[in-house]
Amino acid sequence: MTILSPQSPDPDKPAIILPPPRPSLWVRLRTWFLAGIIITAPIGLTIYLVVITIEAIDRNVKSLIPTGFEPERLLPANLPFGVPGLGVIAAVLLLTLVGFLFTNFLGRSLLHFSERLVARMPVIRGLYSALKQIFETVFSQSGQSFRQVALVPWPAKGSWTIAFVTGEQTGEVGTRLGRELIACYVPTTPNPTGGYMVYFPREDVQVLSMSVDQAMKLIISCGVIVPPEKGVPEPPSAK
């Protein structure tokens, strides 16, 4: 292939451009190996986590089912393998049934009686009340707990990290400090299940447009996976 070289002193003499050297066999093998890791590692880890989660639920749920009512008895006796996930299905059905029973008048009356009984127990009543309030707040359809991602100064001024807004009602803490505060959960990296509950002044909390799922990916990947900003087209290389 010949083309005219603009740097050539004589434009009448075409310059020959040679194709780039072919990568060596070792470079190609390394590239294929890394590509195999990138493709199979996320799939394998996802399957592994799903399997161990299902097995853990199966073990705990099956231990609560009375003898003779195990889900395996509904399957053919000569089935050569077990079916994983029956405990998960049983747990979903059981929770749905409990929710159905306790949303009618009789179920609510029984629940109120049980709560009054628990309220008389000194230690258990505090634990039950706190757990109930946490679950009602987190799973509330109108609540904003863990549904807003924010940027907060942590661990010191000038440093910023990702946090989740957990509540704007700070009660006595805000009254004592005499300023408007926002409670945020600052997760650790790469394990977001551990973290800190911190009160920040409202002016220091910058609510972001990214979703909770995107923020989780950003935290777990230690900043490697950066979610695209809303309204800004994603570059072709990221796609």
Stated pTM of the model: 0.54
Q: What residues are paired with 186 via a beta bridge? A: 196
Encode the chain (239 residues) as per-residue pLDDT tens digits: 444 445 555 556 556 666 677 777 788 888 888 888 877 877 888 788 888 887 777 777 766 666 665 656 655 555 555 556 667 777 777 778 877 777 777 777 877 788 788 778 877 777 777 777 667 666 665 555 677 899 999 988 889 999 999 888 778 888 888 888 998 999 988 888 788 999 999 899 999 988 888 888 888 888 888 888 765 555 444 44
In a domain, 171, yes or no: yes
In a domain, 182, yes or no: yes
The number of domains in the chain is: 1
In a domain, 53, yes or no: no
Q: Which of 185, 191, 194 is nearest to 219 (CA)?
A: 191
In a domain, 165, yes or no: yes
Question: Which structural domain, as residue segments, surrounds residue 195?
Answer: 149-220
In a domain, 191, yes or no: yes
d(Cα 104, Cα 100) in Å, to the nearest integer? 7
In a domain, 16, yes or no: no
In a domain, 198, yes or no: yes
In a domain, 190, yes or no: yes
Question: 110-149: string of b/e by CB count within 10 Å (b at 16+)?
Answer: eeeeeeeeeeeeeeeeeeeeeeeeeeeeeeeeeeebeebb
